[in-house]
């Protein structure tokens, strides 16, 4: 089955211009009807073409289609962590994030009402007041026991008095 110039060029994996140049230079011959016999032309091409002047034929590779583009999905955990991705979350992701936050707030409110949680400001105020009472109570010991300690000469008695005052001060703080 004979071929046209372009069809033979595809068969040889060259341009149609290269086939036309080969015909003009006499390296291959056309048949009487103007078509090209691929068997005769291939043999003549190999015989009449200098390998030194040939370009290396690149292997024809069939490229697979590119993989489908997948848009990044923003998950609720990503949004919670404050990641600033370029992807805009869809309605369902936004709704899931909102419901997650609402559930967490509801749980915190419940635990606070049950007495399991305290407000940070209340804890800080109570800690400050407690530390202030401890400081005032401990700093008041010397003025209360100074006269008694000055009259004592026994070191064991002085130690007992100081221990007793410190114990009283610390017990008052523990209430």
Average of per-residue pLDDT values in the chain: 82
Asked whether residue 67 is domain-assigned, the answer is no
- Co-location of 124 and 169 in the same domain: yes
pLDDT of residue 76: 55
d(CA 28, CA 37): 10
Asked whether residue 80 is domain-assigned, the answer is yes
Asked whether residue 40 is domain-assigned, the answer is yes
Confidence label for 173 from pLDDT (cuts 50, 70 and 90): confident
DSSP-derived letter for residue 99 is: H
Domain count within the chain? 3
- Co-location of 103 and 127 in the same domain: no
**Which of these three, 67, 93, 113, is where a domain ends?**
113
- Co-location of 126 and 167 in the same domain: yes
Give the total residue count for the chain: 175
Asked whether residue 92 is domain-assigned, the answer is yes
Identify the H or E element spanning 168.
Answer: helix 155-173
> Would you say residue 86 has pLDDT above 60?
no
Q: What is the mean pLDDT of residues 111-133?
A: 87
Q: What is the mean pLDDT of residues 142-153?
A: 87
d(CA 1, CA 11): 13
Asked whether residue 141 is domain-assigned, the answer is yes
CB 5 within 8 A of CB 36: yes
> Would you say residue 102 has pLDDT above 60?
yes
Burial (Cβ within 10 Å: 0-12, 13-18, ≥19) of residue 36: buried
> Would you say residue 37 has pLDDT above 80?
yes
pLDDT of residue 68: 73
Q: What percent of the chain has pLDDT over 70?
A: 81
Q: What is the mean pLDDT of residues 95-115?
A: 90
Asked whether residue 68 is domain-assigned, the answer is no
pLDDT of residue 17: 92
CB 130 within 8 A of CB 173: yes
Q: What is the domain range of residue 28?
A: 5-50
- Co-location of 10 and 43 in the same domain: yes
- Co-location of 140 and 102 in the same domain: no
Task: Give the 3-state secondary structure of residue 22.
Answer: helix
Q: Considering the entire predicted model, what is its pTM?
A: 0.36
The 3-class secondary structure across 80-97, one letter per residue, is HCCCCCCCCCCHHHHHHH
pLDDT of residue 59: 62
d(CA 159, CA 166): 11
Is the dihedral angle over the CA atoms 27, 31, 34, 40 positive or is it negative?
Answer: negative
Which residues 6+ apart lie within 8 Å of 172 measured at CB?
137
| Structure-model confidence comparison of residues 53 and 108, the more confident one | 108
Asked whether residue 95 is domain-assigned, the answer is yes
- Co-location of 143 and 103 in the same domain: no
**Least confident segment among 28-42, 60-74, 97-111, 141-155:** 60-74
Burial (Cβ within 10 Å: 0-12, 13-18, ≥19) of residue 152: middle
Confidence label for 169 from pLDDT (cuts 50, 70 and 90): confident
Asked whether residue 27 is domain-assigned, the answer is yes
- Co-location of 142 and 168 in the same domain: yes
- Co-location of 126 and 164 in the same domain: yes
| Structure-model confidence comparison of residues 123 and 51, the more confident one | 123
């Amino acid at each position: 089955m004979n071929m046209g110039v372009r069809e033979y060029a595809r068969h040889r994996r060259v341009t149609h211009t290269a086939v036309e140049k080969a015909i003009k230079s006499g390296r291959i011959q056309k048949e009487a009807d103007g078509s090209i016999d691929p068997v005769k032309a291939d043999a003549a091409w190999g015989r009449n073409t200098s390998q030194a002047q040939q370009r290396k034929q690149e292997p024809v590779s069939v490229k697979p289609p590119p993989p489908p583009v997948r848009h990044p999905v923003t998950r609720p955990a990503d949004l919670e962590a404050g990641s600033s991705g370029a992807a805009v979350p869809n309605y369902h992701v936004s709704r899931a994030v909102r419901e997650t936050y609402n559930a967490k707030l509801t749980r915190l409110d419940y635990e606070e009402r049950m007495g399991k949680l305290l407000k940070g400001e209340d804890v800080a105020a109570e800690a400050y007041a407690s530390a202030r009472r401890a400081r005032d109570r401990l700093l008041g010991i010397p003025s209360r026991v100074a006269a008694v300690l000055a009259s004592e000469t026994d070191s064991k008695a002085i130690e007992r008095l100081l221990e007793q005052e410190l114990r009283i001060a610390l017990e008052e703080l523990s209430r």
